Structure 1
């Protein structure tokens, strides 16, 4: 089975009654079957996103082969997305390996430099039918070792979003509207009016980063208000590590490793299933 780009996967999702797609961070191959179980249980397409750290750890081609194989055997339309990448060489590596979607993150750059680099990525991606995500504004918190302090948070403005989309034609735009990367001990507060105004100004799929920590009510409202891709990573990782710790503490050194991982994977499937059902 081919891997879908974001645009094609969104069409599948909407045909199945979903307003948005969940994009879930994968940290290790052991977690992968749990993702596809959740997709099967919810009759949802699957978007799996990879940080450059995970890609370097596992290998770009191995990730493509593993995800494509499970997508075919489980009959789940799947998109494989490179998340939060500011290095053009890594983006090229992912595209040439077979990733079907990439994110160029130039949110830390001046607007026109972000636009120029995003357009460069889009020119390359179009040759491979790969979708491109970009980001405007600064989302707080930490992800894959990168930290944005509270005082550095910058919310996306309507005019910047309109200008950026007009100048790039990007497939999807990540916006800063109140969520926080890595949040799992508190609750985010989404600026729904800002989101509504950006939606009306861009007519482009918007992306909500920092999906962990968003209440179910806020998530449904955000999806109804224009968010069509929701990133979730921390909540799954916290559950997976927590269950592994419990299992390893109780286990014996001669137990099969799978005994320690099965409860963790079951927890991941449950988290994904609950999140996916919020996107209808």
Structure 2
């Protein structure tokens, strides 16, 4: 089975009565079966996103081969997405090794530089049918070692979003409307009116980063208002680490390692199923 780009996966999701696609951070190969189990349980297509740190840790080719193999054996339409990358060479490597979607993050640059670099990535990706995400505005919190302090948050404006989409033709745009990367102990406050206005102005799939910490009610409203890709990462990581701490502490040194990991994967599957059902 081929890996699908975002537009293709979104079409499949909507045919299956999902209003948005969840894009879930993978931190290690041991977690991978949990993602496909959740997709099977919900009949959801699957979007797996990889940070540049994880890609370097596991290797691009191993990730592509493992995910393609599971997608085929489980018959789950799957997209493999490179998340938050500002380095064009790293994006080219992901494209060359078989990722089906990439994100160029130029949110730290001027809008002119962000547009110019996003165009370069689109030129790299389009010939291979790879979808491109960009980001406009500064989303607070921490993501794969990149930290944006709360005082540095910059919300996306309607005019900038329209200009960006018009001048790049990007496949999806991540916007800053109140969510925070890595939030799992508090509640995000989404600016729904800003979201609705950006949706109307751009008519392009919008991406919500920092999906952990968003209430179910806010998430449903955001999806109804134009969010078509929702990034979730911290919640699965927290559950996985919490379960592993518990099982490793109680285990014996001669126990099979998989016995430590199965409860962690079961916890991740539960989170994924809950999120996938939320996007219906």
Give the TM-score range, shorter chain: over 0.9
| TM-score, structure 1 normalization | 1.00
**Over residues 95-146 of structure 1, what are the superposed CA-to-partner deviations in whole Å (9 max), with x where a residue is unaligned?**
0000000000000000010000000000010011000000000000001111
Q: Aligned runs of 1:1-280 on 2, under 5 Å?
A: 1-280=1-280
Q: CA deviation at 1:251?
A: 0.3
Q: Give the secondary structure class of the aligned counterpart of 1:231.
A: strand
Q: Which runs of 5+ in 1 are unaligned?
A: none
Residue 172 of structure 1, CA deviation: 0.1
SS of structure 1 residue aligned to 2:49 = strand
In the TM superposition, what is the alpha-carbon distance from 1:264 to its structure 2 partner?
0.2
TM value normalised by structure 2: 1.00
Task: Work out the CA distance in 2 between the residues paired with 1:153 and 1:124.
Answer: 30
Aligned to 2:8, what secondary structure does the other structure show? helix
Supply the distance in 1 between the matched residues of 2:181 and 2:202 (Cα, whole angstroms).
24
- 4+ aligned runs moved over 2 Å, structure 1: none
Whole-angstrom distance in 1 between the partners of 2:246 and 2:41: 26
Q: SS of 2:228's equivalent? A: strand
The superposition leaves residues 171-193 of structure 1 with CA deviations (integer Å, 9 ceiling, x where unpaired) of: 00000000000000000000000
- Aligned residue pairs, count: 280
Cα distance, 1:33 vs. partner?
A: 0.4
